[in-house]
Structure 1
């Protein structure tokens, strides 16, 4: 997910769902003096700065594995109350890395949030274990990510085409680990408990999002397309057109000229 500026301008769905989930858990946004908050997979920083800052009355640390996203977030939302750091949640959590994220002798974050990030992570158990290790005893977490989605099906379709196969043959690296799982919530819930979480709520819920136009659909899909930078410049237009054509087949056309995408999210409150 390297198109930081495009993603920042075209992630209405992610902001909508983050806002809705936070509204369901208002207590998590009530920051107390000294609260430390972690945002895992902050992307370009919009949700961190716009929605999560009230949850941290002490310090908000927002991390992402993509340096371009972190650079964009620092440049756009730099503030004394928010620290943006490059960090991969699947990294080995050494004492040095833990100290880099946590100030002083803090024994962990009071709250951890993650919105639309963890479906990019194949090493689910390691990511969840690290989140557990970064939480202080009695800390709270709110995680939401895609269980299955037409976009991932589109990646699979593109990988089956001879023209695009050389650039997309590793498509499974970029597909949610739960895409083909008939019981994603049960699988995730067990994994959370295995790494030490007390799970308050774990649900796979149906969702939908309507793209108002073909252009909005194009911008949203290309902002997160992991293959775009691999495509030779002379083939990019054809690749984008083919991606959008296949995506439209997987969505419902609306009378207004837009397209509705139906998908499922895993919503977790450990």
Structure 2
């Protein structure tokens, strides 16, 4: 996910879900004061155009992302007098000056990329001042990641997918049966007071083209393939696997464009927590 332009053009699902959560928790967001950090802000569009208007004028927003390219793009295209951007890896040791430096944190569609979600939760706890809150949302299960596992067995792609399980969402990788209960327990063990925690079934309409473009925008493996032909083969097989895994949901056609699309199911973990 190194191309800000590609991500912006092909992240309609992420944008829709993030807006829904921001609207649902609009009252809580409007009550935030002081410094708020957006972990995994990406190219900055959601942070500036969607999130910032819901926050009090008294709130200073910091967008944080692990990608230098994303942060550079955000600084150039989504600047604001109340908004700044920093490089941060939420799974690394935090600098001492970041400890208890923030009054609130938010994070949307980011934490499922973490190898160790427990450590990420602990770092979010450390970032917060006492009584600070965190609103987080991330994928807990997505059928697309199961397709990656299948493709690892293909000799053509196997050399480039050796660490594929590392990129599965944490709760999907661990195959927890009750994701909500396990997430809540993990957050409580970190020290948080649970204000809300839910694991929500969602769905999104994709055509084969839009799914391919979306996959390209967030695929962690594409840059590993040595040539364009193999990359194209990989994408074609990836789409076939997703459709195969989703075979109980038939293709449909829109009335307007008569384009075939299918409904892809997935789950989102949403938590609103507070540091005592």
TM-score normalised according to structure 2 size? 0.89
Q: 1:43-122 residue pairs with structure 2 within 5 A? A: 43-54=42-53, 55=55, 57-96=58-97, 98=98, 107-122=100-115
- Give the Å deviation of 1:217: 1.1
- Partner SS state of residue 258, structure 1: strand
Contact 1:64-1:70 within 8 A present in 2 as well = yes
- Give the Å deviation of 1:201: 1.3
Give distance in 2, aligned partners of 1:160 and 1:207. Answer: 28
Which consecutive aligned stretches of 4+ in structure 1 deviate over 6 angstroms post-superposition? none
User: Which of 258, 267, 272 is the aligned partner of 1:264?
Assistant: 267
- Give the Å deviation of 1:255: 2.7
Partner of 2:245: 250
Give distance in 2, aligned partners of 1:121 and 1:169. Answer: 17
- Give the Å deviation of 1:31: 5.5
User: Which of 118, 140, 165 is the aligned partner of 2:158?
Assistant: 165
* More displaced stretch, 163-172 vs 237-246: 237-246
Indicate yes or no: 2:21 matched with 1:21.
yes
Indicate yes or no: 2:189 matched with 1:189.
no
Cα separation, partners in 2 of 1:210 and 1:117, compared to 1, 3 Å: same
- Partner SS state of residue 148, structure 1: strand
Give distance in 1, aligned partners of 2:105 and 2:263. Answer: 31
Q: How many residues align?
A: 260
Q: Structure 2 regions of 5+ residues with no counterpart?
A: 255-259
Compute the RMSD of aligned alpha carbons.
1.6
Give distance in 2, aligned partners of 1:226 and 1:129. Answer: 25
Contact 1:120-1:176 within 8 A present in 2 as well = yes
Partner of 1:214: 208
Give distance in 2, aligned partners of 1:156 and 1:49. Answer: 36
- Give the Å deviation of 1:3: 2.8
Indicate yes or no: 2:154 matched with 1:153.
no
